[in-house]
A and B are shown apart, each in its own frame.
Chain A
Amino acid sequence: MKQSYWHLVWGQFKRQRLALFSLGLVLLLGSVALLASWLSPYPPDFYDLNRILLPPGGAHWLGTDDLGRDVLSRLIYGAQVSLSVGFVAVSIYVAIGILLGALAGYYGGWIDMVISRAIEVMMCFPTFFLILAVLAFVGPSIYNIMIVIGITQWTGIARLVRGEILKFREREFVLAARQAGAKDGRLIFKHLLPNALAPVLVSASFGVASAILTESALSFLGFGVPPQTPSWGSILSQAQAYMDTAWWLTLAPGLAIFLTITAYNLVGEGLRDAIDPRLKDVL
Chain B
Amino acid sequence: MTLLKVENLVKHFPTGGGFFGKGRLKVHAVNGVSFEVAKGETLGVVGESGCGKTTLGLLLLKSIQPDAGQIFFEGQDVTRMSQRDFRPLRARMQMVFQDPYASLNPRMRIGEIIEEPLAIHGRGSRKERQDRTIELLELVGLEARDFNKYPHEFSGGQRQRIGIARAIALNPDLIIADEPVSSLDVSIQGEILNLLRDLQKKFQLTYIFISHDLRVISQMSDRIAVMYLGKIVELFSAEDLAHVKHPYTQALLKAVPSVDPTQKKEKAPLGGDVPSPIQLPSGCSFHPRCPYREIVCERTEPLLEKKEGGHLASCHFIDKVPKEINI
- Could you tell me how many residues of chain B have their Cβ less than 8 Å away from some Cβ of chain A? 32
What are the residues of chain B within 8 A of A177 when measuring CB–CB?
105, 116
Cβ A186 vs Cβ B120 within 8 A: yes
Min CB distance A216 to B, Å, is 37
Cβ A172 vs Cβ B99 within 8 A: yes
Instruction: Give the docked Cα–Cα distance between A194 and B113 (Å).
Output: 14
Asked, given contacts A172-B99, A176-B166, whether A181 binds B90 with beta carbons under 8 Å apart, the answer is: yes
Q: Does B24 contact A (CB under 8 A)?
A: no
Chain B residue with the shortest CB-CB distance to A197: B107
Contact with B along A1-43 (1 / 0, CB 8 A): 1111100000000000000000000000000000000000000
Chain B facing A: main interface SS? loop
Asked, given contacts A3-B153, A282-B152, whether A182 binds B116 with beta carbons under 8 Å apart, the answer is: yes
Which residues 10-53 in B have Cβ within 8 Å of A in the complex?
Answer: none
Min CB distance B274 to A, Å, is 23
Which residues 165-198 in A have Cβ within 8 Å of B in the complex?
Answer: 171-173, 175-182, 186, 190-191, 194-195
What are the residues of chain A within 8 A of B93 when measuring CB–CB?
179
Contact with A along B92-103 (1 / 0, CB 8 A): 011101110011
What are the residues of chain A within 8 A of B169 when measuring CB–CB?
180
Count chain A CB atoms within 10 A of each CB in B61, B63, B102, B121 and give the residue with the most.
B102
Which residue of the partner chain, among B107, B116, B148, contacts A195 with CB atoms under 8 Å?
A: B107
Cβ B63 vs Cβ A173 within 8 A: no
Min CB distance A179 to B, Å, is 5
Given A5-B107, A173-B103, list of 10 further CB < 8 A pairs? A1-B153, A4-B150, A172-B99, A175-B63, A179-B90, A180-B91, A180-B170, A181-B87, A195-B106, A282-B152
Min CB distance B163 to A, Å, is 7
Q: Does A121 contact B (CB under 8 A)?
A: no
Chain B residue with the shortest CB-CB distance to A179: B95
Asked, given contacts A3-B150, A5-B150, A172-B102, whether A179 binds B94 with beta carbons under 8 Å apart, the answer is: yes
Q: Does B149 contact A (CB under 8 A)?
A: yes
Q: Does B69 contact A (CB under 8 A)?
A: no
Instruction: Give the docked Cα–Cα distance between A177 and B109 (Å).
Output: 14
Cβ B91 vs Cβ A172 within 8 A: no
Q: Does B104 contact A (CB under 8 A)?
A: yes
Cβ B152 vs Cβ A176 within 8 A: no
Q: 9 nearest interchain CB pairs?
A: A180-B117, A172-B103, A194-B107, A172-B97, A173-B105, A181-B120, A172-B102, A283-B106, A282-B152
Instruction: Give the docked Cα–Cα distance between A190 and B148 (Å).
Output: 17
What are the residues of chain B within 8 A of A2 when measuring CB–CB?
109, 148-150
Instruction: Give the docked Cα–Cα distance between A92 and B118 (Å).
Output: 36
Instruction: Give the docked Cα–Cα distance between A282 and B170 (Å).
Output: 30
Cβ B150 vs Cβ A179 within 8 A: no
Counting chain A residues whose Cβ lies within 8 A of the other chain, the interface size class is: 20 to 34
The interface of chain A, by Cβ under 8 A from chain B, is 1-5, 171-173, 175-182, 186, 190-191, 194-195, 282-283
Count of chain A to chain B residue pairs whose CB atoms are closer than 8 Å in the complex: 72
Min CB distance B139 to A, Å, is 17
Which residue of the partner chain, among A3, A181, A195, contacts B105 with CB atoms under 8 Å?
A: A195
Instruction: Give the docked Cα–Cα distance between A177 and B87 (Å).
Output: 13
Min CB distance A277 to B, Å, is 15
Can you list 7 A-B contacts (CB < 8 A)? Answer: A175-B97, A177-B105, A178-B63, A179-B90, A181-B90, A182-B120, A194-B107
Asked, given contacts A1-B153, A283-B152, whether A176 binds B107 with beta carbons under 8 Å apart, the answer is: no
Instruction: Give the docked Cα–Cα distance between A5 and B120 (Å).
Output: 24
What are the residues of chain A within 8 A of B120 when measuring CB–CB?
180-182, 186
What are the residues of chain A within 8 A of B95 when measuring CB–CB?
175-176, 179
Cβ B170 vs Cβ A176 within 8 A: no
What are the residues of chain B within 8 A of A195 when measuring CB–CB?
105-107
Instruction: Give the docked Cα–Cα distance between A178 and B63 (Å).
Output: 9
Cβ B150 vs Cβ A173 within 8 A: no
Which residue of the partner chain, among B99, B108, B148, B166, contacts A180 with CB atoms under 8 Å?
A: B166
Min CB distance A134 to B, Å, is 37
Chain A residue with the shortest CB-CB distance to B170: A180
What are the residues of chain B within 8 A of A191 when measuring CB–CB?
105
Chain B residue with the shortest CB-CB distance to A194: B107
What are the residues of chain A within 8 A of B103 when measuring CB–CB?
171-173, 175-176
Instruction: Give the docked Cα–Cα distance between A263 and B152 (Å).
Output: 32
Chain A residue with the shortest CB-CB distance to B117: A180
Instruction: Give the docked Cα–Cα distance between A185 and B120 (Å).
Output: 12
Chain A residue with the shortest CB-CB distance to B62: A179
Cβ B61 vs Cβ A179 within 8 A: yes
What are the residues of chain A within 8 A of B150 when measuring CB–CB?
2-5
Chain A residue with the shortest CB-CB distance to B149: A2
Min CB distance A256 to B, Å, is 37
What are the residues of chain B within 8 A of A178 when measuring CB–CB?
63
Cβ B153 vs Cβ A171 within 8 A: no
What are the residues of chain A within 8 A of B148 when measuring CB–CB?
2
Instruction: Give the docked Cα–Cα distance between A180 and B148 (Å).
Output: 20
Asked, given contacts A181-B120, A182-B120, whether A5 binds B106 with beta carbons under 8 Å apart, the answer is: yes
Cβ A176 vs Cβ B97 within 8 A: yes
Cβ A181 vs Cβ B121 within 8 A: yes
Instruction: Give the docked Cα–Cα distance between A175 and B90 (Å).
Output: 12
What are the residues of chain A within 8 A of B152 when measuring CB–CB?
3, 282-283
Cβ A173 vs Cβ B121 within 8 A: no
Chain A residue with the shortest CB-CB distance to B120: A181
Min CB distance B140 to A, Å, is 15
Asked, given contacts A1-B153, A282-B152, whether A173 binds B170 with beta carbons under 8 Å apart, the answer is: no
